[in-house]
Amino acid sequence: MPKAKDTALILVLNAGSSSIKFAVFDTDLRQEIGGIVEGIGGASTIKIADQSRAIPFIDHKSALSGILSSLAEHHYGLERFSAAAHRVVHGGRKLTAPVRLTPDIRVEIGNCTPLAPLHNPHNLAAINTLAELAPDLPQYASFDTSFHASNPEVATRYAIPRMIETKGIRRYGFHGLSFSSLVRQLPHISGEKLPSRLLAFHLGNGASLCAIKNGQSVATTMGYSPLDGLTMGTRSGGIDANAVLRLVEDNGLLRTKAILNHESGLLGLSGGKSDMRNLMLDPSADSAFAIEHFCYWSLRHAGSLIAAMEGLDAIAFTGGIGENALGVRARILRGLEWAGVRMNPDANHSHKPRLQAESSKVSIWVVPAREEETIAADALALIQAQ
């Protein structure tokens, strides 16, 4: 049961296509409880406080109602929340900072749907549903794209005519909440000020790198969509535009979308495995090649981002692969020895947060992904500024 002093709590919601992650934070940003609904529209389950139940949720509205009911059962009723805060994947060119949600902001999030058709509709569904269920509860949003709003135009503009650019075709970058969390946490983990030139690796089923100079993003590997850049679990990463046009000619638009987003990456290279854990256990040549492809293109892009920062002072890994795949980290760090990087193998195998050897000119860190905490922190800052 929560402590009596915790009377103003923030409910954080992270809605996906068939899932909703949720967490409750106090005003000191301590997580009190959390969970996830998975399989919305099918064989759905809700997990909260290490308890899992099968409940048929037909849509996001019923799932959110189930979340609120389950929280109430654990003594977290709606009356205890001072705000709700949401992850929204795409804020477009206008929504470049955390905001309190108003009707106009909700319309603008909807306007960004063509830029993130697989994500924004589900984010907005959670926002609209909560507004129906708890109309007096203030809601806030943090955007995955906003961390990269500091990128210079030379980094975001594609070399295409202005008439196309006005339709929003530019590089946006993603995983911003993860990178923002990393920037916030690293000084506390290291006991030092944030390094001036930090190369951040968010490696998971989705993966991207970010060049962070003096705390701000100056370049990143994802572009117009989360498809670009690194080899990912099921996404192709970078691919020549004419190759995409050829795929469309041969297979049609919808089939090509499925190929590039859901059948490519590690899955396509290995012949059926998208999870790095399974690939590393599989002795086949295809799995070994998929891992090497992932590491090779991570290194290729790392070199580009080091150039964008004009040097390198620190590296930080986050995300499921970045935090847990020791072999992948080791392969990438060996490939960066030309930049003065030296890894301590014992620290890597012991899951230490600090990985550099004494001879390394570059500090190396592992930082846990805490996106929900960052969303809560963004909302709390807006509340306190009112």
- Look up 282 and say whether it is catalytic: no
- Determine which one of 26, 144, 228, 378 is catalytic: 144
Tell me the Ramachandran region of residue 2: left when phi exceeds 0, alpha when psi lies from -120 to 50, beta otherwise.
Answer: beta
Q: Are 236 and 268 in contact (CB under 8 A)?
A: yes
SS3 annotation, the chain: CCCCCCCCEEEEEEECCCEEEEEEECCCCCEEEEEEEECCCCCCEEEECCEEEECCCCCHHHHHHHHHHHHHHCCCCHHHEEEEEEEECCCCCCCCCCEECCHHHHHHHHHCHHHCCCCHHHHHHHHHHHHHHCCCCCEEEEECCHHHHHCCHHHHCCCCCHHHHCCCCCCCCCCHHHHHHHHHHHHHHHCCCCCCEEEEEEECCCEEEEEEECCEEEEECCCCCCCCCCCCCCCCCCCCHHHHHHHHHHHCHHHHHHHHHHCCHHHHHHCCCCCHHHHHHCCCHHHHHHHHHHHHHHHHHHHHHHHHHCCCCEEEEEHHHHHHCHHHHHHHHHCCHHHCCCECHHHHHCCCCECECCCCCCEEEECCCCHHHHHHHHHHHHHHHC
Catalytic residue numbers, as ranges = 144
